[in-house]
Amino acid sequence: MKFKEFNFQDSLQEGISAMGYENATPIQELAIPIVLKGKDIIGCAQTGTGKTAAFLLPVIEHILKNKTKGVAVLVIVPTRELAIQIDQQVEGLGYFTGVGSMAIYGGGDGSSFEQEKLALSGGAEIIIATPGRLISHLNMGYVKFNTVKFLVLDEADRMLDMGFYDDLVKIVNHLPEKRNNLLFSATMPPKIRKLANTILTDPEEVNIAISKPAAGVVQAAFMVYDSQKIGLIAHLLTAREMESVIVFCSTKKDVTLVTAALKHKNLSVEGISSDLDQSDREKILRLYKNKQVKVLVATNIMARGIDIDSIELVINYDVPKDAEEYVHRVGRTARANSQGIAFTLITEKDQYEFGQIEQLIETEVRKLPVPEKFGETPSYSPKTASKGGRGRKFVKRKK
pLDDT in tens, 348-384: 999 988 988 888 778 899 999 999 999 999 988 887 6
Side chain identity at residue 391, one-letter code: G
pLDDT for res 187: 73
Q: State the Cα torsion 276-282-286-287 to the nearest 10°.
A: -20
List, in order, residues 6 or more apart from 202 with CB less than 8 Å away: 39, 40
Q: Give bridge partners of residue 247 from the DSSP assignment.
A: 297, 315
Strands 313-316 and 217-223: unpaired
The C-alpha angle 321, 325, 326, rounded to 5 degrees, equals 90
C-alpha count within 13 angstroms, C-beta hemisphere, residue 88: 10
List, in order, residues 6 or more apart from 310 with CB less than 8 Å away: 243, 244, 338
On average, the pLDDT of the chain sits at 87
C-alpha count within 13 angstroms, C-beta hemisphere, residue 399: 2
| Domains defined for the chain, CATH in brackets | 3-208 (3.40.50.300), 217-395 (3.40.50.300)
Distance of alpha carbon 300 from alpha carbon 341, whole angstroms: 18
Q: Please return the burial class of 362, using the count of CB atoms within 10 Å of its CB with bins 0-12, 13-18 and 19+.
A: exposed
Phi, then psi, of 98 in degrees rounded to 5: 85, 5
**What proportion of the chain, given as a percentage, has pLDDT over 70?**
89
Q: Please return the burial class of 357, using the count of CB atoms within 10 Å of its CB with bins 0-12, 13-18 and 19+.
A: buried
pLDDT for res 123: 86
pLDDT for res 48: 65
**Which stretches of the chain drop beneath a pLDDT of 70?**
46-48, 108-110, 209-212, 214, 301-307, 309, 322-324, 334-338, 384-399
Distance of alpha carbon 72 from alpha carbon 173, whole angstroms: 16
pLDDT tens column, 172-189: 999 999 999 999 987 777
